[in-house]
Structure 1
């Protein structure tokens, strides 16, 4: 009797990032967001600069937390 094919094609697994790759991408993005935040803080502009700065800060915190979580799961 032939083995049953899996429901999902094998290529789906190839789209997944390793923890190292995800961490590297986060590191790159964190650098860019820090630079953006510094620019916003140095020269606030737009209709609501405080909201823009707050949003970028929250994004940065979330990205840094995700990065720490990746490191913690890699160690454990």
Structure 2
């Protein structure tokens, strides 16, 4: 059996690649979960709210880039 050394094998055969649509769907799920978490926070949770809002903006930006390309 003549297997090539690991260093010469193609990475493409070992990767589980996502399509843009699959990645977009996963981002939408994460956006929904983050929005739900934001809705659960009260006034004392301002620091966590700010972090989640920043995360939500970043998730939306990446999702928009995926469908805009």
Normalising by the smaller structure, the TM-score range is 0.7 to 0.9
Shift of 1:11: 2.3
Higher relative contact order (CA 8 A, sep 6+): 2
Runs (4 or more) in structure 1 with deviation over 4 Å come to: none
* Unaligned residue ranges in structure 2 (runs of 5+): none
- Residue matched to 2:38: 37
Equivalenced residue count is 64
* Unaligned residue ranges in structure 1 (runs of 5+): none
Provide the TM-score with structure 1 as the length reference.
0.71
- RMSD between superposed Cα atoms in Å: 2.2
